Amino acid sequence: MTGPPLLETRGLTMRFGGVTAVAGADFTLGPGELRCLIGPNGAGKSTFFKCLTGQLRPTEGEILFDGESLVGEEPHSIARRGISIKTQVPSLFDGLSVAENLRLAAARTRNRAETRAAVDEIVGLVGLADRADSIASQLPHGQRQWLELGLVLACDPRLMLLDEPTAGMTKQEVARTAGIIREIGRDRAMIVVEHDMQFIQMIAHRVTVFHQGRILAEDTMDNILADEQVRDVYLGKQAGAGRERSDA
Amino acid sequence: MDLAVVVVIQILYAVASLALISIGLAIIFGMMGVINFAHGEFLMMGGYAFILSYNAGVNFWIAMLVVAPVTIAVIGVVVERLIIRHLYGRVIETVLATWGLSLFLIGLAATVLGYHQKGVNPPFGTIRIGAYQEGGYTFFVIFVTLALMAALYVGFKYTRWGLIARGTMQNAQMASGIGVNVDRVYATTFGIGAALSGLAGAILAPIAGVLPEIGVTYVVKAFITVIGGGAVALAGTGAASSLFGAVSQAVTFLSRPVVGEVALLVVAIVLLRLLPLGITGRYFRRGL
Amino acid sequence: MSRNALGLWTMGVLSLVLVFGVPAIVETFALIDFTLFIAMAILSLSLAFVWGFGGILCFGQSAFFGLGAYTYAVAVINMGESTVPILLGILLPVILALVLGYFMFYGRVSDVYLAVITLAVSLVFYYLIGASAGEEYKIGSARLGGYNGMPSVPPINVPGNPSAAVEYEALYVPAAVLLAVVYFGLRALLASDFGRVLVSIRENEARTELLGYDARRIKTVALAIGAGIAGLSGVLFCAWGAYVSPTVFSLVFTAQIIMWILVGGLGTLTGAILGCVLIQYLATWLGETKIADVNIVLGAIFVAIVLLVPSGFVPMFARLGDTLMRRRGEAGS
């Protein structure tokens, strides 16, 4: 890796009562890097994201973004520093239209004309141009995922966190999502949590494996697939189960 | 020394009466997540049920300890069926609907019984403590409240019904999956909460008197105590009424009653800022 | 024409009628009654904004209203001229709301807990001012008077000219103008970026924050705006009756404000005005004719609305209107 990392966590730990969801994770992401995060359900991936965005305050450990600590910051100020998240279950403004959703996200940092331009651009990028006036709650699931992707993008972040962006999508939709992510990943860093191995192969170079709140392995996709230990904790169990989804 | 004893008794009484007026509301809130804003009127009606039946010739204790809670339990079950049942899971709507019910009941009581105050003399006379006197009834209220809390604890913890009720409140779907009639558990719980409110209203009637609007003075204190206590009904009510009762009575001694009332409210405000889910949101979470 | 534009034009015409038309045709007595309704409608708008659009269930709107009324009373008795007292009657509630908002929203207090805190604040005022009956409770030359209230509060006057009082029926036109200003002001505010973000917080607070908006600050500001409007309403109320008493802080009064909003419909400004006038009128009429106890009727309506028309009447009629328009459109094509 060249240059200082964009994101770095040291000994990041999150405990809930007696349960340790994240147990001392040391994670590093370079500028502009696209990384996939995999691991069995309950490995602590979503909790890890919530710590990064300030929705949870870690019990221990340090989070450095661009060299500055994020621990204890409010979600909105972390968002202003340039970290934006697509949550596992799409979190949208259900009563507003697609365009209004995007406008809200875009308007914080832009004036009126810029906002309009950004909305027009993003609505096309995520393939919702012909649905711009539809109310968010009326969109089918796949399009809701894209709209949230658009919201995240409209914040113009330096780091995007995508939690299961293809959950509940058809094969064609997954392929299209991979296209969108490759497109927007060209000029910004991204961490993607996924279960779908084919999808990960479409987008990622490096993959990090989470297991029981720790980082188990970090390597290229091919090497990860060949790793015995990884297969034991994760892939082996899933081999017969096909594509499994978690809602937790 | 005598003064110290009197002060302690008064504080105990303040705590007990706060717990007494809150416990019915707390059971309903803790077990069902429902806030019954007509709670004050349940107390008011309990007071009337007691005084009217006593004046009609019913034995004093039967009127207070049987007629009042049974009457209000019946009213409670009817209210649950007509209003509460349609609003489960919608806390704010329930507050608003029961607030409307509260107005309705005040108006009804005023129309039927008139706006003047009714009362009976408390029994037991007075007890001399050195240079001071204390009503014997004060001790009765403290004693009854303790007995009531103990009985509820035993009832929820050790009886079959208590187990079913607690299970249903934890996970209604699962309970109905194993054959529990969830509707009936809710109706029963609401009825028990209403009965406790009716009983509290009757017990306090000899001291406070009864008039159609008296519920308003009860409901705010009960509401604040229950929310301050949090979702764990018995432990929450016990803890919150101890804190609020002690503070307000202590301040009352140091200055005057109205400052005591204000102190109660201020403590409640600060408490909710520090513990946004009430006392049992942080402590005694595994209590009852 | 879109429904929004149509509504705007309708309300524009209605407010012209309210300001210029009504005084020309209505008797003096009725005009004085109307002035009270208008003051209350402004209060109703303040809660409609805070609760209906900000999603902040404030049970203490009466605290801001009452503080505005008492501030005006105390200040105008001491100063003898009404301009500064009016401004103070708006400013003090705003300051209270900023303090409360900081206290609650920055402590992540929400929902029913927020309702308890605001209710408790309102009752603190009720008890404290109620206990101020003695001679010694004076602010300057203004006696607070405990539960008896403060009588003979001087009226509003033409700014800079204390002898030119604006009272009785003369208060109607300024009050009507203020109602229109508040109404259209709130509409403009809701159409602005601030308003959009406020509504988005109501819809999905977590998402709004993840987009980088500070929900705590925005809700605090919204509460303060609502408080200022409630304070203004309190000033008008106090000047209208030349009197204020602690009942403005009572639970019953708070219940009324909430009921106005519920009747008209949560999330509409027009509904808040209609609901307020309707209930006020009904209460006055029941009080005069003694057909039934006011509490019975209002309580029954309250329950019935929550159970049967949870969205309130204005949204219900709007939906009906939409359906009819669509039918007619289909029949015509």
A94 touching C, CB under 8 A?
yes
Which among C131, C302, C307 has CB closest to B86?
C307
Q: Average pLDDT, stretch A6-22?
A: 89
Q: Kindly indicate the confidence band of residue A245, based on its pLDDT and cuts at 50, 70 and 90.
A: very low
Q: Which residues of C touch A108 (CB under 8 A)?
A: 211-213
Q: Cα dist. B242→B144, B148, B235 in Å?
A: 16, 16, 11
Give chains near C: 3+ CB pairs under 8 A: A, B
Q: Kindly indicate the confidence band of residue A201, based on its pLDDT and cuts at 50, 70 and 90.
A: confident
Q: Is the model's pLDDT at A237 over the cut of 70?
A: no
Taking alpha carbons only, the member of A154, A108, A113, A151 closest to residue C193 is A108
Q: Is the model's pLDDT at C147 over the cut of 80?
A: yes
Mean pLDDT of chain B: 85
Q: Which residues of B touch C107 (CB under 8 A)?
A: 273-274, 276
Q: Kindly indicate the confidence band of residue C46, based on its pLDDT and cuts at 50, 70 and 90.
A: very high
CB neighbourhood size of A143 (10 A): 20
Q: Cβ contact (<8 Å) for B258 and C131?
A: yes
Name the residue in chain C with its Cα closest to that of B100: C299
C322 touching A, CB under 8 A?
no
Amino acid at C328: R
Interchain CB contacts (distance < 8 Å): A and C: 60
Token pair in block for residue B140: 């009765």
Q: Which residues of C touch B256 (CB under 8 A)?
A: 131
Q: What is the pLDDT of residue B30?
A: 80
Token pair in block for residue C98: 């900023």
Q: What is the DSSP code string of A151-212?
A: HHHHT--SEEEEESTTTT--HHHHHHHHHHHHHHTTSSEEEEE---HHHHHHH-SEEEEEET
Q: Cα dist. A240→A243, A244, C49, C101 in Å?
A: 9, 10, 55, 54
Strands B132-135 and B126-129: antiparallel
Name the residue in chain A with its Cα closest to that of C216: A76
Which among B107, B261, B276 has CB closest to C127?
B261
Amino acid at C165: A
B152-191 pLDDT tens trace: 888 888 888 788 777 776 776 777 777 677 788 888 889 9
Name the residue in chain C with its Cα closest to that of B91: C112
Q: What is the pLDDT of residue B226?
A: 87
Q: What is the pLDDT of residue C4?
A: 76
Q: Checking phi first, is residue C312 left (phi over 0); if not, alpha (psi -120 to 50) or beta?
A: left
Q: What is the pLDDT of residue B278?
A: 75
Q: Cβ contact (<8 Å) for C212 and A96?
A: no
Q: Average pLDDT, stretch C132-147?
A: 86
Name the residue in chain C with its Cα closest to that of B96: C306
A137 touching C, CB under 8 A?
no
Token pair in block for residue B283: 């402590």
Q: Cβ contact (<8 Å) for A76 and C203?
A: no
Q: Average pLDDT, stretch A107-122?
A: 91
Q: What is the pLDDT of residue C19?
A: 83
3-state secondary structure C211-259: CCCCHHHHHHHHHHHHHHHHHHHHHHHHHHHCCECHHHHCHHHHHHHHH
Q: Which residues of B touch C299 (CB under 8 A)?
A: 100-107
Q: What residues form DSSP beta bridges with A64?
A: A8, A69
Q: Cβ contact (<8 Å) for C196 and A92?
A: no
Name the residue in chain C with its Cα closest to that of A76: C212
Q: Kindly indicate the confidence band of residue A248, based on its pLDDT and cuts at 50, 70 and 90.
A: very low
Token pair in block for residue A17: 């009562």
Q: Which residues of C touch A103 (CB under 8 A)?
A: 196
**Domain ranges, ordered by start, for chain B:** 2-215
Q: Kindly indicate the confidence band of residue B286, based on its pLDDT and cuts at 50, 70 and 90.
A: low
Mutate to test the interface with C, among B28, B79, B82, B104 (most CBs of C within 10 A): B104
Judge whether C10 and C187 are in contact, CB under 8 Å: no
Min Cα–Cα distance to chain C from A72, Å? 14
Which among C204, C212, C215 has CB closest to A91?
C204
Q: Cβ contact (<8 Å) for B104 and C302?
A: yes
Name the residue in chain A with its Cα closest to that of C203: A93
Q: Which residues of A touch C192 (CB under 8 A)?
A: none
Residue with tokens 């009082």: C165
A107 touching C, CB under 8 A?
yes
- Considering only residues B30 and B190, tell me which one the structure prediction assigns the higher pLDDT: B190
Question: What's the number of CA atoms in the CB half-sphere (13 Å) around residue A201?
Answer: 7
Name the residue in chain A with its Cα closest to that of C209: A76
C209 touching A, CB under 8 A?
yes
- Break chain A down into helix, strand, coil percent, rounded to 5: 40, 25, 35
Min Cα–Cα distance to chain B from C301, Å? 8
Q: What is the DSSP code string of C24-78?
A: HHS-HHHHHHHHHHHHHHHHHHHHIIIIIIT----TTHHHHHHHHHHHHHHHHHH
Q: Cβ contact (<8 Å) for C203 and A95?
A: yes
3-state secondary structure A70-98: CCCCCHHHHHHHCEEEECCCCCCCCCCEH
Min Cα–Cα distance to chain B from C254, Å? 11
Q: Kindly indicate the confidence band of residue A160, based on its pLDDT and cuts at 50, 70 and 90.
A: very high
Give chains near B: 3+ CB pairs under 8 A: C
A110 touching C, CB under 8 A?
no
Q: CA dihedral in degrees (A55, A59, A64, A70; nearest 10)?
A: 40
Which among C197, C206, C213 has CB closest to A91?
C206
Amino acid at B188: T
Taking alpha carbons only, the member of C318, C231, C224 closest to residue C271 is C318
Which among B35, B262, B277 has CB closest to C128?
B262
Q: Cβ contact (<8 Å) for C116 and B227?
A: yes
Q: Is the model's pLDDT at A244 over the cut of 50?
A: no
Q: Is the model's pLDDT at A246 over the cut of 60?
A: no
Output the pTM of the full model.
Answer: 0.87
ipTM score of complex:
0.84
Q: Which of A71-75, A244-248, B145-149, B259-263 has the lowest mean pLDDT?
A: A244-248
Q: Cβ contact (<8 Å) for B103 and C295?
A: yes
Q: What is the pLDDT of residue C94?
A: 97
Min Cα–Cα distance to chain C from B258, Å? 6
d(CA A201, CA A196): 9
